[in-house]
Copies of this chain bind each other. A is one copy, B any other.
Amino acid sequence: MLRLYDYYDSGNGYKVRLLLAQLGIPYEYVEKDIVQGETRTPEFLKLNPNGRIPVVVLEDGTPLAESNAILFYFAESTPYLPADKLGRARALQWLFFEQYSHEPYVAVARFLLRHTEPDDPRRSMLEQRQKGGYAALGVMERHLAENPFLVGGRYSIADIALYAYTHVADQGGFELSSYPCVRAWLARVEAQPGYVRMLLQRPSS
């Protein structure tokens, strides 16, 4: 059976859990506590030399890392990835936007507020992270004002990737009242068949 190395509170891990649920693919869930450094052990580094979750280990033992690469792998030849070349590239455009211009701001702001103490020196970057996050949300708002989903008029892994941290942006101190098109899109994602919620506490073992 497929194995997923993940951390319950990770939006990057949640992307994979959401797609696998929608595809009906079962998997074994293996918790790694990133806050406690459990992804930096020699054993874990054999799965992903970059020391990050999520990692999937395929049936034959092959590991695959990077949440958005994992999404692409499982979505190929399914309705969750456009069938045409330009559509695939457009989905990738949004996936790279997510990892470069959205996650480092929206997810990092959320991490700071959830996993550091108020006097942690890392908190000094919170304002700059929120500023970048609002810029990313603005890009999404303008696009979603004219499109029901991010690519090709239908739900795809581009929506999954951006939904993961956007729908918990409030936990990073973001206020979405000025982003009505983003909020309407969040509701459209949540109405998709097979939708599952993000874990917000550690699953009982």
A68 on the B face (CB < 8 A) = yes
Known A-B contacts A66-B96, A96-B66; A73 and B89 likewise in contact (beta carbons under 8 Å): yes
Q: Are B49 and A73 in contact (CB under 8 A)?
A: no
Stretch binding the partner chain, chosen from A97-105, A170-178, A189-197:
A97-105
| Cβ B50 vs Cβ A66 within 8 A | no
With an 8 A cutoff between CB atoms, is A3 at the interface? no
Contact A139 B50 (CB under 8 A): yes
Does residue A23 face the partner (Cβ distance < 8 Å to B)?
A: no
Q: Is the CB of B72 within 8 A of A92?
A: yes
The yes or no answer to A142 lying at the interface (CB within 8 A) is yes
Residue A22 is within 8 A (CB to CB) of chain B in the complex: no
Is A34 in contact with chain B by the CB < 8 A criterion?
no
Smallest beta-carbon distance A49→chain B, Å: 5
Q: How many copies does the complex hold?
A: 2
Tell me if A86 counts as interface (CB < 8 A to partner B).
Answer: yes
Q: How far is the CA of A104 from the CA of B104 in the complex (A)?
A: 10
Let me know if A116 is at the binding interface, CB within 8 A.
no
Q: Are A62 and B86 in contact (CB under 8 A)?
A: yes
Chain B residues near A72 (CB-CB < 8 A): 88-89, 92
Closest to A104 in B: B104
Q: Are A96 and B76 in contact (CB under 8 A)?
A: no
| Chain B hits for A67, CB < 8 A | 96
Q: A183 near B: Cβ within 8 Å? A: no
Q: Which 3 pairs across A and B sit closest by C-beta, in order of nearness?
A: A73-B89, A69-B92, A66-B96
Bitwise, A70-88 to B at CB < 8 A (1) or not (0) is 1011001000000001101
A123 within 8 A of B: no
Cβ of A90 < 8 Å from any Cβ of B? yes
**CB-based contact B66/A97 at 8 Å:** yes
Also in contact, A49 and B139, with CB within 8 A (given A64-B93, A66-B96, A99-B96): yes
Rounded to whole Å, the gap between the CB of A40 and the closest CB of chain B is: 11
> Please, how many angstroms separate the alpha-carbon atoms of A122 and B97 in the complex?
23
